[in-house]
Structure 1
Amino acid sequence: MKIDRALILTIILVLASIAFSYYLWVFYMVSPWTRDARVHADISHVASQITGKVKRIHIKTDEQVNKDQLLFELEGTDQQIALDKAIASLERGQFQLKLLQDEKQRLQGIPGNLVSEDDRDKANTSVKEQQAQIKVLTADLSQAKLNLERTKIYAPHAGYISDLDFTRGQVVTPGQQVMALIDLNSFSIKAYFEETRIKELAPGQKAKIRLMGRDDIVLKGTVVSIARGINNNNTTKGSQQLPDVQQTFPWIRLAQRVPVTIVFDDQQQVQELHLFSGSTASVVIE
């Protein structure tokens, strides 16, 4: 019996088409997926805690730094002077306390009929007041030492320097953000799934992640959390202090997008890639 090759080839193509169609149906209709995902990283906004002029900058933009690495330092002349004053004030206070304690002891050694009880009470009160003053001066000294230490600013964690926004000689003030430090070990994925697919998601599920422009690489991840709330635009008020309700069409109901956090399974692989916070990704939940 002669086999019709054309018939066999047609059957194979039909079966392949059915299999491919089933794969697409599972991919798009069964497996939760989204193309709306972003790479996320924790960012520390580095700032000085004191006012000072920048003396030296030890890093540059996009440089990788280690935890506790020196980032920049301020001129510490004012802080050193304040420290010297605090030391001198404490020493003077201690000398004064010694004099008052000696006077108190001297009065206690005099017979009662030669010194009034009021004088003894005043001497005792003066010693207690000076002891309290010593505590204040000690605290001032600790603050002066701390301010001198704060002239050197160190990295709170390992990461990448971004948005270096100051120069040598510039005066910085407390709380003024001068750079961003992207946490080296905090890269994750924020995937936005339609609310109609949320029931299919749960923490612990595995995910495949593809980065835009890096289709040759498939990263593995795990769902760790699903957001419990998103912003409600209808809660804002208009000029008349009334709810600003958004207009909708009864026959069109757009599904809201819910953030889902996914962590990478292989952190070593992530470190080798040039990831940057805010880049685009696609996610498929297995």
Structure 2
Amino acid sequence: MTESPQKKPTAKWPALVFVGLALAMGSYVAWRLDSAPRTDDAYAQADVIDVVPDVSGRIVEMLVRDNQRVAKGDVLFRIDPRPFQDELSRARASLVALDKQIELTSRSVKAQQYGADSAHAAVGRAQAAAAQATERLRRTAPLLDPGYVSAEDVDRARTTQRAAEADLVSARLQAQQAAVAVSGVDALVAQRDVISAEIALAQLRLDMTTVRAPFNGRVVSLKTTVGQFASPMKPLFTLIDTGQWYVVANFRETELQDIRVGALATVYLMGDTSKRFNGTVDSIGYGVLPGDGGLVLEGLPRVQRTINWVRVAQRFPVKIRIDDADPELFRVGASAVATLRRLPSGDVPRNGSGK
């Protein structure tokens, strides 16, 4: 009696389980990407300035080295102060000399004023003498006909009256001349204001020979030392503001509609993936330079020819402000990974901005 061959156990179940797990994992990843956008196209950023002196001169002291941390107010370097000290000394000496000149001129003005007052008093005396002579002539003239006075007496009174009038005219002219001769110190006082301004400017230039850190930061790209001639036209090094760090994360434009200013973020740097840092979306970029055409050249848009039918979504920078940055780990340009938590349309961001 022949036995029928037994059927071999099917091997479909492991495959089905694998496919189910793959679908579940794919769904989970899609849900995570939709609820928490993530990108590894990100980098650390901070505000930086080019350190340049405000005055020109030879560097006589360099107090920092490359990649050194500095605190706000620390002296970075000094420029030879001697030319500016000489300029300040000259301005101060000019002010002292001008003050002496003002003092002497004031004395001269007082003397001139005394002369003018004396001439004015002389006018008063001449007026009195002229009035007396006129009155004498008025009393003497009627006495000529009765014979009480002689004609010579009348002529003498008339001459005296005319001489008094002439003296009065002369006194008045002398008083006017004395009044005009009285000068003043207004011009010198105005000149003193100019020299005082020059002293303040010279003092400011002297103070500028000592360059200090405007904020807590780190010195980078230092390539000079003592002896270099520095000028305001050439940066000596760069100073990174380590007081506030950012991560600029480039997200696809299809993800921006649900990203809001004020949304919470978690980032980590490739330099140490074990540390997580909290952040907040500070701003969302509104412009990038397209790399595949659309640039306007000579009034016409330039569109490159391409046979690529796949439409790649543009990426826009999202600036994330880091709340608890590690100054020893963060570096400008360091690679980062950012994950955002989208805010629903009705939520109000922490900074109150809904834009």
Question: What TM-score does the superposition give when structure 2 sets the normalisation length?
Answer: 0.69
1:42 to 47, 51, 54: 47
- Equivalent residue for 1:275, pick from 305, 326, 330: 330
Task: Report which stretch shifted further, 191-200 or 251-260.
Answer: 251-260
Task: Evaluate the alpha carbon distance shift between residue 256 and residue 217 of structure 1 in structure 2; reply closer, same or farther with a 3 A threshold.
Answer: same
Matches within 5 A, 1:184-263: 184-231=242-289, 234-237=294-297, 241-247=298-304, 251-263=309-321
- One-letter amino acid of the structure 2 residue matched with residue 101 of structure 1: S
Query: In the alignment, residue 282 of structure 1 is paired with which amino acid?
Result: V
- Provide Cα deviations, 1:98-125, integer angstroms capped at 9, x if missing partner: 22222222222222444433323xx13x
Corresponding position of 1:157: 215
- Shift of residue 225, structure 1, vs aligned partner: 1.4
2:30 is aligned to 25
Distance 2:21 2:279 in 1: 30
The aligned amino acid for 2:337 is: S
Aligned positions, number: 271
> Displacement, 1:52?
0.9
What is the aligned-residue identity percentage?
A: 27
Whether the aligned pair in 1 keeps the contact of 2:49 and 2:238 (CA below 8 Å) is yes
Return the alpha-carbon distance in structure 1 between the equivalents of residues 303 and 101 of structure 2.
Answer: 73
Q: Distance in 2 between matches of 1:252 and 1:10?
A: 33
Structure 2 equivalent of residue 116 of structure 1:
178
Structure 1 CA distance for aligned equivalents of residues 323 and 55 of structure 2: 41
* Rounded Cα–Cα distance in structure 2 between residues aligned with 1:15 and 1:80: 83
Is 1:133 the equivalent of 2:191? yes
Q: Residues 244 and 12 of structure 1: is their aligned pair in 2 closer, same or farther, counting only changes over 3 Å?
A: closer
TM-superposed deviation, 1:53: 0.7
Matched position secondary structure for 1:230 = coil
Q: Is the 8 A contact 2:271 2:329 kept in 1?
A: no
Q: 1:169 to 1:213 in 2, by over 3 A?
A: closer
What secondary structure sits across from 2:267 in the alignment? strand
Distance 1:43 1:65 in 2: 14
Alignment TM-score, normalising by the size of structure 1: 0.84
C-alpha deviations, 1:64-118, integer Å up to 9, x for none? 1111001111111111111111110111111112222222222222224444333
- Deviation, structure 1 residue 210: 2.6
Letter in 1 for 2:26: S
Counterpart code for 2:178: S
The 3-state SS of whatever aligns with 2:333 is: coil
3-state SS of paired residue (1:190): strand
Structure 2 spans left out of the alignment, 5+ residues? 1-10, 121-173, 342-355
Distance 2:181 2:309 in 1: 93
Residue 8 to residue 207, structure 1, CA distance change in 2 (3 Å)? farther
CA change 1:102–1:248 in 2 (3 A) is: farther
For residue 79 of structure 2, what is the aligned residue in structure 1? 74
Residue range with higher mean Cα deviation, 100-109 or 60-69? 100-109
Quote the Cα distance in structure 2 between the aligned partners of 1:131 and 1:244. Answer: 66
Task: Quote the offset at 1:263 in angstroms.
Answer: 1.2
Q: Distance in 2 between matches of 1:159 and 1:16?
A: 50
> Deviation of residue 251 (structure 1)?
4.3
CA gap 1:57/1:187 in 2 versus in 1, 3 angstroms: same
| Most deviating of 243-252 and 94-103 | 243-252
Distance change (3 Å), C-alpha of 1:251 and 1:16: closer
Instruction: State the shift of 1:10 in Å.
Output: 9.2
Shift in Å, 1:17 = 4.5
- Partner Cα separation in structure 1 for residue 321 and residue 208 of structure 2: 35
Structure whose alpha-carbon radius of gyration is higher = 2
Q: Secondary structure at the match of 2:248?
A: strand
Q: 2:128 is matched with which residue? A: none
Report the CA distance between 1:27 and its aligned residue. 2.8
Question: How far, CA to CA, are the matches of 1:243 and 1:165 in structure 2?
Answer: 44
Secondary structure at the counterpart of residue 180 of structure 1: strand
Residue 248 (structure 1) shift: 5.8
Tell whether the 8 Å contact from 2:95 to 2:192 is kept in structure 1 after alignment. yes
Report the AA paired with residue 85 of structure 2. Answer: Q
Given that 2:268 and 2:275 are in contact with CA atoms closer than 8 Å, whether structure 1 keeps it comes out as yes
For 1:189 and 1:150, locate their aligned partners in 2 and report how far apart those are by CA, in whole Å: 34
Q: Provide the C-alpha distance between the structure 2 equivalents of 1:29 and 1:248, rounded to a whole number of angstroms.
A: 34
Counterpart residue number, 2:348: none
How far is 1:56 from its partner?
Answer: 1.1
Amino acid at match of 1:105: K
